[in-house]
Amino acid sequence: MLELDTIAAISTPMGEGAIAIVRLSGEEAIAIADRIFKSPSGKTLSTVASHTINYGNIIDPKTNDVVEEVMVSVMRGPKTFTREDIIEINCHGGLVSVNRVLQLILTNGARLAEPGEFTKRAFLNGRIDLSQAEAVMDLIRAKTDRAMNVAIKQMEGRLSNLIRRLRQEILETLAHVEVNIDYPEYDDVEEMTHRMLIEKASNVRSEIQTLLQTSQQGKILREGLATVIVGRPNVGKSSLLNSLVQDTKAIVTDIPGTTRDVIEEYVNVRGVPLRLVDTAGIRETEDIVERIGVERSRQYLKEADLILLVLNYHDELTHEDEQLFEAVRGMDYIVIVNKTDLTKKIDLDKVYELASGHPVVTTALVQEQGVDQLEEAISSLFFEGNIEAQDLTYVSNSRHIGLLSQAEQAIEEAIVGIESGIPIDIVQIDLTRTWEILGEVIGESVHESLIDQLFSQFCLGK
């Protein structure tokens, strides 16, 4: 165990609630709490049994004034979240009262925790590895049930265990290489090790590939399907965003060019998390502010997983509409023909022809018509053919995906090397590199600055 100072933070959201929790972790946690805690029966926290909750008051030791009425949980390490001694003070849930308790703790020997520092300690003290710690953050941020299931499995160590097993197999393979290097004079040893090496390394490679295959869905579940609404000015793009969000987030007017900037919202469409982006209508424009917006729309378009292309039923197809079809070619898109409550001026046959097999949905968004069909089209596009396998281990985090791709490449080089009969000590280098890269996923052999950066993305008090 590392010797670290005692940290404290408010671990519940800033705002009014029924209760709010101030959490302390570290060697001095119980002693510090005792300095400001007074129980009616006179007991002290340092003498109560571990994992008990205790009623009492928080008092300012300088004035002896009662500051708060609380329940204090005492949990002695190592069987705690951080493996250190932990105190949790359950206050009345008002901003002023929790802050007063926190201030007293800080003036009585604790230091304010940095974002993610409690979870970082769980990592530094070896209770969880890096991929599990990252999953804790994903769990908090999860926007749908499915995203949460992926995070929980990763937190339980599913991914870590798989990575550990692969690393173990690489080590065993390396042991065979050693034999080969140590006894090069035995030809039959070389024969055998070659076959074995190729078999073992191919096995590892195919497991890495299987994992990488889950990454696209995993990433979408975690980060949301990047969905961009495009269309000419005034066709109803912002109305579409509002219908899907079921709330008025984007300003809707009949003035073309209303949306100047990009609006981003998370929505849950039948279990598919969408990171929905409403853009400024794409057209040639003179207005400089609007032009920046249009420029950014094009940028978003490039990075989208799904495009919602909106057309106007009450208007003829224009050259700009056709350019939009051109721009989204090769991407996943759904065509929405809006304003069907008005008279038809669009050539629908032409729309179907341009859509060339992509779904076409008609809507009258002012009357909330067609939204169901659109949601259906989105969810069937996402879940097409691959109903989420319950026991699949997903990779969802860009850092992990990047490392796994590197590992795949390294093991590939090792395999090609063995097959082409290059010196075995070169193969050894590639295998070792694969082993190291995989280690970074679970936080073995990672640089300290990366660890700091990862944990700093957490919420305060986590």
Q: Pick out the residues of the known binding site.
A: 23, 88, 127, 234-239, 253-259, 278-281, 462
- Quick count: other Cβ atoms within 10 Å of Cβ 411? 29
Q: Does 337 bind ligand GTP (CB under 6 A)?
A: no
Q: Which of 223, 338, 218, 228 is nearest to 276 (CA)?
A: 228
Between 16 and 368, name the residue whose CB sits nearer to ligand GTP.
368
- Partner in contact with 350, chosen from Mg ion, ligand GTP, ligand FFO, none, beta carbon below 5 to 8 Å by kind: none
- Partner in contact with 342, chosen from Mg ion, ligand GTP, ligand FFO, none, beta carbon below 5 to 8 Å by kind: ligand GTP
Instruction: Return all residues near 253 (Cβ < 8 A) that are at least 6 apart.
Output: none
What 3-state class would DSSP assign to 31?
Answer: helix
Token output for 26: 């570290």
- Partner in contact with 81, chosen from ligand GTP, Mg ion, ligand FFO, none, beta carbon below 5 to 8 Å by kind: ligand FFO
| Binding-site ranges for ligand FFO (CB under 6 A) | 79-81, 88, 127
Q: By rule CB under 6 A, what string of x and - marks binding of each residue 215-234 to ligand GTP?
A: ----------------x-xx
CA distance 180 to 425: 9
Q: By rule CB under 5 A, what string of x and - marks binding of each residue 220-259 to Mg ion?
A: -----------------xx-------------------xx
- Partner in contact with 97, chosen from ligand FFO, ligand GTP, Mg ion, none, beta carbon below 5 to 8 Å by kind: none
Q: By rule CB under 6 A, what string of x and - marks binding of each residue 231-270 to ligand GTP?
A: x-xxxxxxx------------xxx-xxxx-----------
Residues 272-331 within binding reach of ligand GTP (CB under 6 A): 281
Q: Which of 109, 141, 95 is nearest to 8 (CA)?
A: 109
DSSP structure string for 282-306: PS----HHHHHHHHHHHHHHHT-SE
CA distance 24 to 10: 9
CA distance 392 to 341: 45
How many residues contact ligand GTP, by CB under 6 A?
Answer: 23
DSSP structure string for 335-395: EEEE-TTS---S-HHHHHHHHTTS-EEEEBGGGTBSHHHHHHHHHHHHHSS-PPPTTPPPP
CA distance 44 to 41: 9
Between 259 and 434, name the residue whose CB sits nearer to ligand GTP.
259
What 3-state class would DSSP assign to 72?
Answer: strand
Between 255 and 389, name the residue whose CB sits nearer to Mg ion.
255
Minimal distance in Å, beta carbon 53 to ligand FFO? Answer: 10
Minimal distance in Å, beta carbon 359 to ligand GTP? Answer: 18
CA distance 225 to 375: 13
Instruction: Return all residues near 394 (Cβ < 8 A) that are at least 6 apart.
Output: 150, 153, 154, 214, 215, 217, 218, 221
Q: Which of 441, 453, 389 is nearest to 165 (CA)?
A: 441
Minimal distance in Å, beta carbon 224 to ligand GTP? Answer: 21
- Partner in contact with 236, chosen from ligand GTP, ligand FFO, Mg ion, none, beta carbon below 5 to 8 Å by kind: ligand GTP
- Quick count: other Cβ atoms within 10 Å of Cβ 165? 12
Annotation: binding site for (6S)-5-formyl-5,6,7,8-tetrahydrofolate: 23, 88, 127, 462
Minimal distance in Å, beta carbon 371 to ligand GTP? Answer: 11
Distance from chain centroid for Cα 417: 36
Annotation: binding site for K(+): 234, 253, 255, 258
Minimal distance in Å, beta carbon 130 to ligand FFO? Answer: 16
- Partner in contact with 307, chosen from Mg ion, ligand GTP, ligand FFO, none, beta carbon below 5 to 8 Å by kind: none
Among 338, 362, 393, 434, binds ligand GTP (CB under 6 A): 338
Residues 336-365 within binding reach of Mg ion (CB under 5 A): none
Tokens 């889950």 map to which residue? 214
**Phi (first) and psi of residue 152, to 5 degrees:** -65, -45
Minimal distance in Å, beta carbon 256 to Mg ion? Answer: 9
Chain positions contacting Mg ion, by CB under 5 A:
237-238, 258-259
Chain positions contacting ligand GTP, by CB under 6 A:
231, 233-239, 252-254, 256-259, 281, 338-339, 341-342, 364-366
